[in-house]
Structure 1
Amino acid sequence: MNVRTTQPSKMLGSPIQLAILTLIASIHTAHAQEQSPAPAQVKAAGESTAIAEVIVTGTKRATSLQRTPVAITALNAAALDDAHVQTIQDVVNLVPGFSATAQGDHGVITMTMRGVGNDSAKTEYADPEVATFINGIYSPRPEGATSLLFDLEGIEVLRGPQGTLWGRNATVGAVNMQTAKPIIGETSGNIEGGMGNYNRLGVRGAFNVPVSDTMALRFAYINEKHDGYVDYQTLPSISIASQQAAYAASNKGSLVGFQTMNPNLFVANGPKYGAQDQSAARISMLWKPTAAINWNLSYEKYTDRGTPGMNLMQTPRDGQKLWSALIDTAPAVERNSDALRSRLDFAINDGMAMAYIAGYSKFSGSSRYDQDGGAAVPTSFTTGGVHQENNTVSSNYVNYSHELELQSTGKRDVDWLLGLYYAAETNDIRFDIPIMNGTQQGSVGWQGSFIQPKETVESSAAFGQATWNATESLHFTGGLRYTKDTRTNVGGNGYTWNYDASVPQTPLNAHIDPTKPGQGYSPSKPSNDGTYTGDKVTGLARISYDLNKDNMMYASYSTGYKSGGLQDGGRTYGAETLTNYEIGSKHTLFGGTVKINNAFFYEDFKDFQFSAPVTNPDGSHTLATNNAEGAKIAGFETEIAAKLTKDDKIQMSLAYTPKATLGKLIGGSNDYALPKCVADPTISTCVDVTGFTMPHVPKIQAQFQYQHVFHMGDATITPRISVHYESESGLSVFSDHFGAPDKQEAYARTDLGLRYAAGRFYIDAFVRNVSDNAIKTSAQNGFSNGNGTQVWQSQFLAPRTFGFNAGMDF
């Protein structure tokens, strides 16, 4: 299938015209259905199998997707398997207006929805605008979002602020993953193994065990591994005479102190960047002692021994390929997490139910990362190149949460829900950045250690929502949530190299304690000690109208909120808020063989928390967070699913975002070579990005999927194709300043699959990124090639991958 990657308006038609025509056509069809079905519609319904009803819990109730007046994409286990989904970054191809980017030094994924996100939401400093939940329990740190998605019932992606029912940091949306639950009285399971290129090996399985008439257990396991994508380049041969000349040129003609470069400092073998080695196991229990009590409890263990992604040169050096780098820091990742999740449901009577939802998680991790990515080949041991590592020496957090919900049940004039929520978190981290001139043998350029021994977060909330069913067709919904947040930093500080001539100039590492005198480091002043307290009321107002049993429309006003917090020096930054205006419709047409869901939205985003590493006028480095004015964002989304015949199914989605404009913001970042800052005297370099386009927001984002089932006796063969298209999008707030190097051009990515199934056995083959596109997810030009030219580097989505999985159900 050929897909044009230029002139998107010709490919899709005018997006706004398409949006309006889709909505008008679906409403027109709805009225035509209500009067009397056309013969063609009756015939189509008779020859096709209707698309199965999807039940969602986005409103904290089990409701039909097509009867729920919220923009939700629901992906069941079969859809996740078909798309070979393993991480959140795989989910974005299936959801309109959703983006996810990889951030190398922490190896985590940050999310953007409807134009709002935060690339810095990868450490304890910043929270995400898109909240992630597992079984309704908030996952506070981004490492949780990269955990393997295994043995799931499905994923629901809610677009728009979910500040009333879902609460914490669901500023612009929420992702709720539901793990597979045990089934009482059933012995069943599945097992699967797979192989692929880059030496990919994978195995997963699940087993359901009945314990008694009231209890069942479920065991699930997964391990996925493959080699890294980034090959190691060899240090070019540089003559001793050339090294001496370069050294003398920078040392007033003297060769005193000269050393030859040690090629052994450059990595030539071992694990490569971009490797996967992740495992997880889960045990779940369902206990139902009476008809009124239902308790789901699970424990999950997750480990990651893979490697981070790598910043690659957008234009490789002569003779080198894109997926390679001159690397002087071997990659390493070690992450461990434990999670305990519980939900206890109790039916008080026929009209009322209570739920107690609790979670506990513990995380520890470390990583080592080559930040400079070999942007320049050194000319001598201390000239030409830069050696920079970004090392998380240790990172730990403990989080727990409690939520109590009381809600009405059954059919009634007013449906209501009340809730209380409390969450607490404790973090500590040590993060080192050694920067050496030339190579690790060279002199110190700058180096420092950020040590935060204790940071705490507390969040409490009370919320309620009610829907008045004025008639069988007309419904009014209102909701409010009050949230209070408190953050504290205790004993944290940055320790910066003080250029003491009596201390050997060696790269900072985990064996050096920069807090001790005589090590060559001085603490920053003031320290990071401080307290932040803030509160906010968020709300929802919505009206929905059922045109008939298959068609409905809704309009809503909703607000979202993300807490402010603390930054280096104990300084505070304020909360950010988002107000969303939305009009939507949902339609089930042609006897249930076609479903169309639409949404128009306008977002008023205020006090955007912009975080970036910056250099202060005194030469010290810090991570600064400022509240920008915000942004104005408008767009349209549509999702279409159709069963053309009983064996042919298509799914399409479109997100059109013509407006995503930043408000007033003076942006600085050490990841970019920016001009001297005049507008903000607190940082050295900056750009006024007021009026620029928000990053990671293509004007057009479209998805098309098609599959056909061929029957061969008792077996089936199902080929499938998935095409994802995006128009040009920026990679940072500076994209309109830098242009093409800081943008991802329009592209189309194609994935293919072929599944053979016979009884309980199946083989599923896949090819992802068929055309092997180099698709950027981030950019930086903070390093020079040694001749004064800044080198553009990026991280990329994975290259072409292929493989197969074989398994069976029992």
Structure 2
Amino acid sequence: MTTRAQKSRGSLATPIHLAVLAMLAATASAQAQTAQSPAAAASAADSSQEVTVTATKRTTTLQSTPLAVTPISAVELDKQHVQTISDVVHLVPSFQATTEGDHGVITMTMRGIGNDSAKTEYADPEVALFINGIYAPRAEGAASLLFDMQNIEVLRGPQGTLWGRNSTVGAVNMTTAPAELGSNFGDISGGLGSYNRYGARAAFNFALSDTFALRAAFVHEQHDGYVDYQNPKLPSLADQQTAYDAFNAANNAAAAAQGNPPPATKPYQPIDRNTFVQAGPKYDAQDQSAVRLSMLWKPTRDITWNASYEKFLDRGTPNMNLMQDPRPGEKFWSALISVAPYLDRDVNTFRSRVDWNLSDYLALDYVAGYSDFKGSGDFDQSGGATVPTSFTSGATVQEDRTNWSHYKNWSHELELQSRGTHDVDWILGLYYAAEDNGIRFDIPISNGTQQGTIGWQGSFIQPKETVASEAVFGQATWNLGSSLHLTGGARFTWDDRKNEGGINWGWSGTPAGQPIDPGTDPATSGLFGAGHNDGHYTGTKATWLARANYDVSKNFMAYASVSTGYKSGGLQDGGLHYGPETLTNYEVGTKNTLFDGTVHFNNSAYYEDFKDFQFSAPVTNPDGTHSLATSNAKGAKVYGVESELAAKVTPDDTVQLSAAYLHTELGYLLAGSNDYTLPACPDPKISKCLDVTGHRLPHSPTGSLQALLEHTFHLANGDTLSPRVSFHYESSSWLSVFNLGQGDLQKSYSRTDLGLRYQAMKQWYVDAYVQNVEDGRIKTNAQNSFGVWQSQYLAPRTFGVNVGLAF
């Protein structure tokens, strides 16, 4: 059994505030207003009951913003018990998030386009994640807790002109709650739930002077793992001896047929039950804490500086690959585990934004950020898919171990824009971002059990992977009268990537008594051959936007746009290059306000021409070496329709509905992956592959529907009671580009979440909830390389209660 000492919980007491995604876009709208701080925007929204967004890097009303954007307020995030991005998918059309166990991260897909391998130091996402307008390039950030948020905006369609890097098909911008001048206030809350869930949160605002304020926020969330440890049901000693002899005989015969001497083996020994994990932290557990200190300084009427420091700790466990069809007598949420789960992550982040109103006409904004991530982890990739027949036969144990990873990124953006509404509203910007990433990732693979012979093992050491990206951009909207608005924008990007000293250490076949451990130096062990990854990639790209929107009436706006997205090419194992991918999006939409503003009905239809899609997967090369390979598909065709309706039926009744239709078709691609059992490949550069031309893209259900109903009962003492029902349905969707039948398919499903909130006049509340009422088994990925189909799943049914107080 492989195990690592679990660090003590770095518990930072307190809040769960949920939030993630305030978006990006490209366009200045017809009714563009004077740029405001996030706090001012929220205040305006509260007073006017009109939802505002910052998708065009101006504060505009949702109904006057000519692009497909879904805003989610802090109140809504709290009511829906949102903790991570994966909780948001049931609130936004055409949006998916998947879990990936060996790195314990979340990857995002929008309108059918994403990259499940955007979890490594090599691959980038197609959906960009921003926090307070600052790009977060590493996928680990997406798994962070969402707490003390102001709002989230999810922008669909390419956002490369205004928002920049890797927003090929969309962007998510999370805005944290800023410090506020003028008053002292706060809130505290805590809750209990199923699987020994405990959560606590708090936020405090301190107005220290007329010009300076601080805000402190804390959160801690934990629950036990969902996956129980199976008691191994092992063969008798006699059967183990027989299987051992047959295993050796088969290996000797294979070697003789090839003219080779008999392979080295180990003397017989019975299976040691201690190689199987039976106790300790379980897979799929949460133990996360965070603290954030925010500052607001307003030295003059025209200068505002918001800054924050955030510390995030993760001592939970990865999600496990479960057998889709459990062995007889075993529970679904259980696995035969040989590698104990382990996660240890620390993230330190600094964010800063300075807004300077140079005049009544001009504003200058400077946005900067820095993040430092350190992490390690251990994961049982094989997940006990098969039971060993002897200590060295009948099963495979693969350990995916991140010995260490260290990712640093920083960015600077300078924006000059017009204030107010004029004949021409415009914005100009300069952007610079950089990354310096390193990792050591080991994969020991044993035959039978960890006592057995070595099947293969490798160590991937990338000490310095750097990225530098520079850009200039501009966008302008011509307001031709009061109704017609024409927008044009462009961005030019320079990308530079380097791998310095990266080596793939692959097992040379020399007999090895033990799997590689964190203390092994592959360079001096004599057991490994080296494949060098040094390389240098440079590229440039221009992206652009053209859009027209027309105010047919005060309450009806229509728009049409053509926009492009881009994701840089880069380096892969062996120092090889892969090319950039591009997307051209053609879209039309309407924004409708009905019944005196009580109903918003928004629609969009789009066609996307996706070229050179970057497909990344772990592969075995024809020479027996292993690598992460990225290839460019010829492209993909994607089209669909999205509709969102929000209605205040009565002062006490709220209804929200959204629906999406999606069609995807992949262009020419020979795809290989070690996660799937595939046939021999006709391409000599790939050992096993499948022609996936014409297949549907993964995580792209043809149809999906979200509905939310809430009613408020007014009690005699002025308190309120609000029951809430949230419903999500989606049709079946593939889990990979291979489209390999039922095991590779998430069948159509529905999910219901229930909530009941008692709100007292004295600012305290009690909120009870049940999530995934159906207890549905919702897959997020699939693999069958270990002989049976396995998947990771969204959480089973959970329930709990939260109590909070505002003061």
Q: What is the TM-score normalised by the length of structure 1?
A: 0.91
Report the counterpart of residue 620 of structure 2 in structure 1. Answer: 615
Q: Deviations over 1:286-329 (max 9, x none)?
A: 00011000000000000100000000000000000110000000
1:357 aligns to 2:367 (yes or no): yes
3-state SS in 2 of match to 1:150: coil
Distance 1:516 1:68 in 2: 61
3-state SS in 2 of match to 1:66: helix
Distance 2:420 2:327 in 1: 67
Distance 1:116 1:176 in 2: 18
Distance 2:633 2:523 in 1: 34
Report the counterpart of residue 540 of structure 2 in structure 1. Answer: 535
Report the counterpart of residue 189 of structure 1 in structure 2. Answer: 186
Contact kept in structure 2, 1:51 and 1:592, CA below 8 Å? no
The verdict on how the C-alpha distance between 1:113 and 1:231 changes in structure 2, with shifts beyond 3 A counting, is same
Shift of 1:505: 2.1
Distance 2:266 2:305 in 1: 74
Contact kept in structure 2, 1:284 and 1:297, CA below 8 Å? yes
Report the counterpart of residue 521 of structure 1 in structure 2. Answer: 528
The verdict on how the C-alpha distance between 1:396 and 1:560 changes in structure 2, with shifts beyond 3 A counting, is same
Aligned-partner residue type, residue 217 of structure 2: A
Report the counterpart of residue 517 of structure 2 in structure 1. Answer: 509
Q: Deviations over 1:170-199 (max 9, x none)?
A: 100010000001111210000010000100
Unpaired runs of 5+ residues, structure 1, are 1-48, 785-790
1:393 aligns to 2:403 (yes or no): yes
3-state SS in 1 of match to 2:245: helix
Pairwise mapping of residues 403-418 of structure 1 onto structure 2 (< 5 A)? 403-418=413-428
Aligned-partner residue type, residue 629 of structure 2: A
Which of 720, 724, 732 aligns to 1:728? It is 732
Pairwise mapping of residues 34-183 of structure 1 onto structure 2 (< 5 A)? 52-183=49-180
Report the counterpart of residue 346 of structure 1 in structure 2. Answer: 356
Distance 1:303 1:50 in 2: 37
Report the counterpart of residue 776 of structure 1 in structure 2. Answer: 779
Distance 1:311 1:237 in 2: 21
Contact kept in structure 2, 1:677 and 1:686, CA below 8 Å? yes
1:669 aligns to 2:677 (yes or no): no
Report the counterpart of residue 10 of structure 2 in structure 1. Answer: none
Distance 2:384 2:234 in 1: 15
Contact kept in structure 2, 1:614 and 1:621, CA below 8 Å? yes
Contact kept in structure 2, 1:710 and 1:717, CA below 8 Å? yes
3-state SS in 2 of match to 1:450: strand
Deviates more, 1:230-239 or 1:342-351: 230-239
Report the counterpart of residue 282 of structure 1 in structure 2. Answer: 292
Deviates more, 1:249-258 or 1:575-584: 249-258
Report the counterpart of residue 584 of structure 2 in structure 1. Answer: 579
Distance 1:605 1:394 in 2: 35
Shift of 1:92: 1.0
Shift of 1:689: 0.4
Report the counterpart of residue 601 of structure 1 in structure 2. Answer: 606
Shift of 1:52: 2.2
Distance 2:388 2:645 in 1: 54
Report the counterpart of residue 716 of structure 1 in structure 2. Answer: 720
Which of 534, 538, 563 aligns to 2:568? It is 563
Aligned-partner residue type, residue 147 of structure 2: F
Q: Deviations over 1:127-181 (max 9, x none)?
A: 0000000000000101111110100000000000001000100100010000001
Q: Deviations over 1:228-262 (max 9, x none)?
A: 00000011142211111110111239997101111
Aligned residues: 747
Distance 1:325 1:685 in 2: 28
Report the counterpart of residue 301 of structure 1 in structure 2. Answer: 311
Distance 2:386 2:661 in 1: 40
Pairwise mapping of residues 626-637 of structure 1 onto structure 2 (< 5 A)? 626-637=631-642
Report the counterpart of residue 473 of structure 2 in structure 1. Answer: 463
Distance 2:49 2:732 in 1: 36
Distance 2:516 2:655 in 1: 55
Which of 703, 708, 729 aligns to 2:706? It is 703
Contact kept in structure 1, 2:234 and 2:387, CA below 8 Å? no
Distance 1:158 1:64 in 2: 14
Distance 2:58 2:598 in 1: 25
Contact kept in structure 1, 2:720 and 2:759, CA below 8 Å? yes
3-state SS in 1 of match to 2:300: coil
Distance 1:499 1:581 in 2: 53
Report the counterpart of residue 198 of structure 1 in structure 2. Answer: 195
Shift of 1:50: 12
Report the counterpart of residue 9 of structure 2 in structure 1. Answer: none
Q: Deviations over 1:488-527 (max 9, x none)?
A: 00010111111224xx421111011112243x11212xx1
Which of 547, 550, 570 aligns to 2:552? It is 547
Among all aligned residue pairs of Structure 1 and Structure 2, give the percentage whose two residues are the same amino acid.
Answer: 62
Unpaired runs of 5+ residues, structure 2, are 1-45, 253-264
Aligned-partner residue type, residue 655 of structure 1: A
* Aligned Cα root-mean-square deviation (Å): 1.2
Report the counterpart of residue 224 of structure 1 in structure 2. Answer: 221
1:481 aligns to 2:495 (yes or no): no
Contact kept in structure 2, 1:556 and 1:581, CA below 8 Å? yes
Which of 751, 763, 767 aligns to 1:749? It is 751
3-state SS in 1 of match to 2:412: strand
Shift >6 Å, 4+ stretches: 253-256
